Amino acid sequence: MSTPTSDTESPRSAAVLYPSQVFVGATLITLGPLLDPILRDLNIPLAKAGVLSFGFFFGRVAGVLLFNFALARVPIKTIMVTCAVVLTLGSAASGLLGVGLWPLSLALFVTGLAGVIPNAISGVWVAAHVHKGVEKAMLNIGAYFALGVVVAPLVIGAALELGATWRWVFLGEAVFSAVVAIVLMLLPIADVRDRENLRTRQLKQVGATHPRLLAVILAATFLYVCVEGTLYVWLAKLQVDSFAAGPGVAALSVTLFWAGITAGRYVAVPLTRFASPARLLAVFASVLAFFVAGLALAPTLAFSETFAFFAGIGASACWPLISCYTPRFPGWQAGVVFSGMMLVGTIGNTVSPYLFGPALAAFGSRAALGLWIIPAALVIVLAFVLEKVARGSDRASGGATSPALPPTGF
């Protein structure tokens, strides 16, 4: 059981946890703007470039599993501080010891593992401590996370334009993470009491409750994240190769993509008052597929940057709209399903950007991007299946449909 802490610490804890999402977002997005200079400096062929993203996101898979299955008895503050310290070491190792594909991939694995756990903690902490204004709390988490993913590419692009190498960017990230670790050590963080590690029997129980609904939720999550993750890892590199963009302009495309995601999430969730989440999912997935096609066919850099923003709009609502169906699982099972979404989403982030490298090397940027329209199109199909299956689960349980969840991003 976690160490008890006073409820009066919760407001002060929120003031610590929310800004911590800035560095979580920044570490998530770092590899994308740095991919081209890393490949050039280390002479890594395109076909193997996906190994770097695989290392990073496989670390995030390991982090999700570690948090859900092994860390329930460790106080939240201890986990947060440890993650910040490990992230410092991983970023420093990336900059100092990343002399080849495999050493750098191993260092990125460490940063991925340490970076995902604070993101998972934020939702768990809000669920335990915020009893009024939950939507506002989750919006705060999303806002601070968005600040990291939107601003970091701009900072990285500017640093590269001024002559900094990718190694210096990783070392700067290490310094930033060290500062976060010190702040977390000095300030209070209220613990989450009575947390429990997941067990196999619990997973079986969740699977038996609404098996078809669970399968569709996880499949739709996996496919949507395959598209989103590939774009924010590879978009800057594609701008360099297709339009000879400089590092600052290439990084701007990543910022625009995430700006679209951020804007879309704030707009999309209130729309569930007028249409079912599944139908809205079909609409947003259609926008995503359309503008991925636009990116593949863009005639100029200006068109490509614009399409990156609107592709972000399309991707924006997929996660919160799919997660609207997790409350159809009773009690603690809803949390397990949400953790399952995080896990399969992270697996999608691991596999898809890795596969994009060989596709890019074999077919070129436009054809490779065209292939990634397929998972977006499959999300559209699954959206209609999701609505049908959800209605069946409602009839089986005798419950009413649940309201949309706040727009917390993957």
| Rounded mean pLDDT for each run of 10 residues along the chain, 410 residues in total | 42 66 88 94 93 95 91 90 95 96 97 90 73 64 82 93 95 94 87 78 85 94 95 94 93 94 80 85 96 96 96 90 84 81 91 94 93 96 92 60 43
Alpha carbon of 10 to those of 15, 18, 116, 122, 191: distances in Å?
9, 12, 22, 12, 9
DSSP 3-state of 2: coil
How distant, in Å, are the alpha carbons of 72, 248, 280 from that of 315? 32, 23, 12
What are the CA-CA distances from residue 370 to residues 190, 192, 317, 345, 375 (Å)? 47, 45, 22, 21, 10
Q: At residue 15, what is the residue type?
A: A
pLDDT of residue 346: 92
Q: What is the pTM of this model?
A: 0.85
CA atoms within 13 A on the CB side of 42: 26
Q: Which CATH architecture has domain 198-410?
A: Up-down Bundle (1.20)
Largest pairwise CA distance in the chain:
62
Give, in words, the CATH class of 10-195.
Answer: mainly alpha
Angle between the N-to-C axes of helices 247-268 and 31-42, in degrees from 0 to 180, rounded to the nearest 10: 150
Task: Categorise residue 364: left if φ over 0, alpha if ψ from -120 to 50, beta otherwise.
Answer: left
Q: What is the pLDDT of residue 408?
A: 44
Q: What is d(CA 236, CA 233) in angstroms, rounded to the nearest whole number?
A: 8
| 409 secondary structure, DSSP code | -
Q: Which sign does the torsion angle of CA 111, 64, 139, 266 carry?
A: positive
- State which amino acid sits at residue 212: R
Cβ atoms of 196 and 72 closer than 8 Å: yes
C-alpha 61/C-alpha 369 separation (Å) is 25
Task: Measure the CA dihedral 62/119/346/247, to 10°.
Answer: -110
Instruction: Decide: 308 and 235 in contact? Cβ < 8 Å.
Output: yes
The pLDDT, as a whole number, for residue 130 is 67
CA distance 142 to 137: 9
- At residue 73, φ and ψ (nearest 5 deg) are -90, -5
Q: Which amino acid is at 274?
A: F
Q: Where in the chain is the domain with CATH 1.20.1250.20?
A: 10-195, 198-410
As separate numbers, helices (DSSP H) first and strands (DSSP E) second, the chain gives: 16, 0
Distance CA 155, CA 152 (A): 5
